[in-house]
Structures are given as C-alpha cells and as structure tokens.
Structure 1
Amino acid sequence: MELRLLATFEKVADVLSFTRAAAELGYAQSSVTSQIRALESSLGVDLFERLGSRIRLTEAGERLLPYARRMAELAEEARTAVAVTEEPSGAIAVGTMESLTSYRLPPLLEYFHHRYPKVRLTLRPTLGDETRQALRQGTYDVGFLMEPETEHEGLEAEVLAPEPLVLVAGPDHPLVGRTDLTSADLAGTQLVGTEPGCPYRDLFEAELREWAPPFMEFGTIEATKRGVAAGLGVALLPRVAVAEELAAGTLVPLAWEAPFTLFTQLAWRRGKRLPAHVRLFVEQARRLVSEQRG
C-alpha cells in the first residue's frame, strides 16, 4: 500500500467528503476519487459507502483507519529522525476556544512566531465536545480544553492550570456589595453569557436551573463583558478574561463562589506519536501557560 493513498484515505475518512478532502490536500477531486479507488482495488474491499451526496466508512474502512493513522505517524517520525535541520518546522492544527486564545495563549503564540517561524500554527476555534472529537479523528494535532474533568476517552490530557471563575456585574448592579451570595439569591437576576457549549456557561446554567433565571446570550466574551458593564446583567467568566476590567472598576466581582472547578488542559490523541515540532509546542505550552495565573 502506498503511503500517499493511505494519507488520502485518512483525510477523506476524517472529513467524510471527497470535495473537502481534495481542497485540503490541494488535489483535484478526480485525483482523490481515483486514489481511493486504487486503494480499494489493491485491498479488494470497498472503504466507503456512497449515499447520494454523502459518504461513510464501511466496516473495512473503519478497520483500516487506525492502521492508516499509525503508518502516517511512523512515516512522519522516520522523516523527522533522518532530517538534517537545525530549526523545527512543520504544521500544527490546534483546537482552542475564545477565552484561551485571547487571554492564555498570546505569550505562547508570540514565542513561536519569533523563535520558530517555520512552525506553522493553525488555530481552530471549537468548544469541548467538538475539540475532543477532532482530536480522536486526527483532524487536530493538539487541543486546549477547559473542563472540570481531566480524563477523556481516547485522549492524553495534561492539566496546565486551574481556571478561576468570577461572577461579575456592573458597578451599579443591586447585588454589588452583598456578601455570601447563594445560588438562590441569583433567582430573577438577568444572566448574560456566551454561547451554549461553553463549559462555564453550561455549568453555571445547570447550577441555577432550579431557580430558572433568565439568560441573555451575547455569544463572545467581549460582547458579554460590554453587556454586563452596561448594566444588562451578571456573567460568570474566567478571571483572566476580566482582569483588566476588574482593575479598572468597569466590572465588579460578586460574592458568589462557583461550586465547580475548571482546568485548562492540553490534549492529544492517545497513542499518537507526536512529531518533534509538536512535542516542542507541548513543552512550551506546559511552561508558558502553566506560569500564568488568573
């Protein structure tokens, strides 16, 4: 089996689209189709079921996929082992989320931009479930998570730091100055937040479900902060994301403690042999992100 054919098969299996696979690989769609047919012919099995405009893996394709990934990783490891280079290079697809990209990762991204210009970082904005699935499928090389759990099926994960959360309001909000607020005290309070799927938003909403307070979605952290500062409600956000506003007094912390703890983590597929430049990224993320405190 040719590695080129296996690489094409792996890409089609990841995205489940000949058209998208061709675009990402830089091939004509006809080339992708002919490569898959050549691989199927050499193996004597169908690897994909064609369902009109959609495709899915056959049982044979499901069995082949982990072998294709292992062979691709071994080929990359072999190339890295014999390559004569003094400077790390290669592409890294990184799954991340807004709060981490904006407030945790800038030192890491700046470090790589200046120190390792031949390492090409591609940031893919996704939330927990989508990031984990993309890591398992091999679409992402590594992914940043912000979760209460630190064990994830099929993944290796390293906790970089606990992620402190703070409930914030505008300076004139009626809850400012209240002490020892309980979840029941928030009943009837307008809540402002990011989109569903954001871990701290979902946990906060679940905690207050018994009292069913209203929830206003602003989508992004920046929009959420502006809405809260304007007096539209209160929001639970990572402390690192509101540090400047707290210092300036445009947002005020409320005396409510979240009954859950989130951890910023870096994850990759279990059993995956990380190329040297990806290992370097993991090492520097461990150093630079772990050093920060919210």
Structure 2
Amino acid sequence: MNSNDLRIFEAVALHSNFTRAAEAMFTVQSNVTARIRSLEEEFGASLFERNAKRVSLTPAGEVLMHYSKQISHLLEEAKNEIKNIDVLAGSLKIGCIETTMALRVPQILHDFGAAYPHVELEFKSAMRPELVQDVLDYKLDAAFVTGPISIAGLQQEPINEEQLVILTHGNAASLSSTLNRQTAPKIIVFDQGCVFRERLESLLSAKGIVQYKPIVVNSIEGIINFVESGLGISILPQQIITAFYASRNIKTFSLSKSLGTMTTVLISRSNRRPSKLMQVFIDMYKSQPGNVSSEG
C-alpha cells in the first residue's frame, strides 16, 4: 500500500463509481479496480459494496476512510512544513460563528496578512454543529465555537468570554413589559443550531413562555433591523452592539450569568499536534484585545 492507493480509495468513495474515480485520478478503470483489490487483500476485508450502478463503503471501508483522511492530512502537513521550513507559508482554513466573523476576523486577517504574506488564511462562517462536523471531517483545520465542547476526537482551547444581552426596540420600558404585551412574542433569530437562539429560547422557557413566533434571518444586520423596527426581540453579544450598533434605536437588557456568559473555544482534532502555522495563528489571535492571553 502507498499514499496513491489511499487517494484512489478516497476517490472511489467520493464518486461512488470506479469509472468516475478513474477519470478524477487521471488513470484507467482497470488500475483503480486493481488498486482497490490490492487494498482489500492487504486488509483482509471488503471495502466496498458493489452493484451495477454504484459502490458504497462497507463498515471496514468506513474505518479505513477515517484513517485515510488522517494519513492524507499528515502527509500534506509534513510536505508544507518541510517545504516552508525557513518561511512561514501554506494555508489555514478556520471556521467561526457569525459574531466572531464580524468582530474578530477583519483585524486578524489584516494583522496576519501583514506579518505572514505567504500564508493563505480562509474563514468560513456557519452554525456550531456544521463547524464541529467540518473539523472532524478535515474540511477545517480549526473552528471558533461556543464552549465547552466534549466530543470524541476534538480538543479545545479557551479564547474569550463575552456577555450576551437581550435586544428590544428602543422604546421598550422593560423586558417584562415587552414580553407581556403579547401572548406569543416574536423572536428574531438565526436558524436552528445557533447558540444565541438556544439561549433566548431558554430564557423564554424559564419565564414560562412556551409559545412564541421565531422570525429567522441570516445576518446580524438583519437581526438589528428587525428589532429596531419593533418586530420582536433578540439576543447578541454586548460587544457587537457597542462596536457597531450603539447609535441604533434599540435597547439592551442584561441576563443572568448562566445565560449571559458565552465562552468561545478554538476546537481542533485531538489526534494531531498543532502545526507551526496553526500555533502562530493561535498566538496572534489570543494577543488581540479581549482574548484570554491579553486579559492578564
């Protein structure tokens, strides 16, 4: 077995077809078939269920896929570190939730790009469940998510703490009066999987409010606009409001410590040590104002 055998194996799994895998690997189908047969003989197990139209991984194939991804990424990291041993270069793919993207990413992109011009830094914004799965699937090198996280295969490093606040229209006298005005209050939220939505729904549940109408939007700006228009209430980090929306006609109300404190952690796979590039990124990110290493 060699690394090319594993690349062929992954191509067959991806395309569910030997012919399409051969095209993707710029080889012939007979070679793909031979390499898969060789792997199956080496491991003493069938890796694919075969039928006339497509193939799919067997349980043994699923196990090999898990390790094949690890091997592929370790080889790529080794090549990058050796190639760029004297110059920091390569690429990092980092995930983050929407508020981290708005608050932290622009500055780190600027600072990191200026200090390390040969590094390609790519960010993806998504909900926590998707980011966690992308890290596990090697689609992301790491991700900033709300913690704590206790998932097999992941390690976490605390980054910062933020205070969440309830947002209402600027004319609201109090949060209680706003909630009591209607039997089914409207909440302005991101889609399912958003930690802010979870916290807001927990607050309503604690107040005995089980009927409410969610209005789902896909941006922070959308949440601010809807709340300012009096369409409902929402929840966001206080720092977002202070930094970008202090002049808007909205009012904020504090939360209890349990609901109002949000801890951000950086998750990565626990089966690999941080690369030199990743460690430099972590150190620079944590040195930004408001993060753990800069809070003293």
d(CA) in 2 for partners of 1:12, 1:165: 46
Match of 1:219 in 2: 218
Q: Is the 8 A contact 1:183 1:207 kept in 2?
A: no
1:41 pairs with 2:40 = no
Unaligned runs of 5+ in 2: none
Q: Is the 8 A contact 2:164 2:255 kept in 1?
A: no
Offset at residue 71 of structure 1 (A):
3.0
Q: Which amino acid aligns with 2:71?
A: M
Aligned length: 281
Q: Is the 8 A contact 1:97 1:144 kept in 2?
A: yes
Q: Scaled by the length of structure 2, what TM-score is found?
A: 0.79
Offset at residue 249 of structure 1 (A):
4.7
Write out aligned runs for 1:243-262 (5 A): 243-244=242-243, 247-257=246-256, 259-260=258-259, 261-262=261-262
Q: From the superposition, tell whether residues 47 and 182 of structure 1 become closer, same or farther in structure 2 (CA, over 3 Å).
A: farther
d(CA) in 2 for partners of 1:152, 1:244: 33
Instruction: Give a deviation string over 1:144-192, Cα, whole Å, max 9, x none.
Output: 1124x3433320111101121011122123xx3x38x599758643321
d(CA) in 2 for partners of 1:284, 1:12: 40
Q: Which amino acid aligns with 1:201?
A: R
Write out aligned runs for 1:47-58 (5 A): 47-49=47-49, 56-58=56-58
Q: Which amino acid aligns with 2:146?
A: M
Q: Which amino acid aligns with 1:202?
A: E
Unaligned runs of 5+ in 1: none
- Alignment RMSD: 3.4
Q: From the superposition, tell whether residues 223 and 77 of structure 1 become closer, same or farther in structure 2 (CA, over 3 Å).
A: closer
Q: From the superposition, tell whether residues 102 and 152 of structure 1 become closer, same or farther in structure 2 (CA, over 3 Å).
A: same
Q: Any idea what SS the aligned residue of 2:246 has?
A: helix
Q: Any idea what SS the aligned residue of 2:217 has?
A: strand
Q: From the superposition, tell whether residues 94 and 8 of structure 1 become closer, same or farther in structure 2 (CA, over 3 Å).
A: farther
Q: Which amino acid aligns with 1:102?
A: A
Write out aligned runs for 1:65-84 (5 A): 65-80=65-80, 82-83=82-83
Offset at residue 36 of structure 1 (A):
5.2
Offset at residue 80 of structure 1 (A):
4.8
Q: Any idea what SS the aligned residue of 2:287 has?
A: helix
d(CA) in 1 for partners of 2:240, 2:27: 44
Q: Which amino acid aligns with 1:290?
A: N
Match of 2:239 in 1: 240
1:31 pairs with 2:26 = yes
Q: Is the 8 A contact 2:223 2:234 kept in 1?
A: yes
Q: Which residue, 190, 199, 216 being the options, matches 1:194?
A: 190
Q: Which amino acid aligns with 2:93?
A: A
Q: Is the 8 A contact 1:47 1:58 kept in 2?
A: yes
Larger radius of gyration: 2
Percent identity over paired residues: 24
Q: From the superposition, tell whether residues 30 and 245 of structure 1 become closer, same or farther in structure 2 (CA, over 3 Å).
A: closer
Q: Scaled by the length of structure 1, what TM-score is found?
A: 0.79
Q: Any idea what SS the aligned residue of 1:87 has?
A: coil
1:115 pairs with 2:115 = yes
Q: Which amino acid aligns with 1:168?
A: L
d(CA) in 2 for partners of 1:86, 1:214: 57
Instruction: Give a deviation string over 1:202-255, Cα, whole Å, max 9, x none.
Output: 231243244123222222211010111122221111222222455325322125
Q: From the superposition, tell whether residues 245 and 285 of structure 1 become closer, same or farther in structure 2 (CA, over 3 Å).
A: closer
Q: Which amino acid aligns with 2:277?
A: H
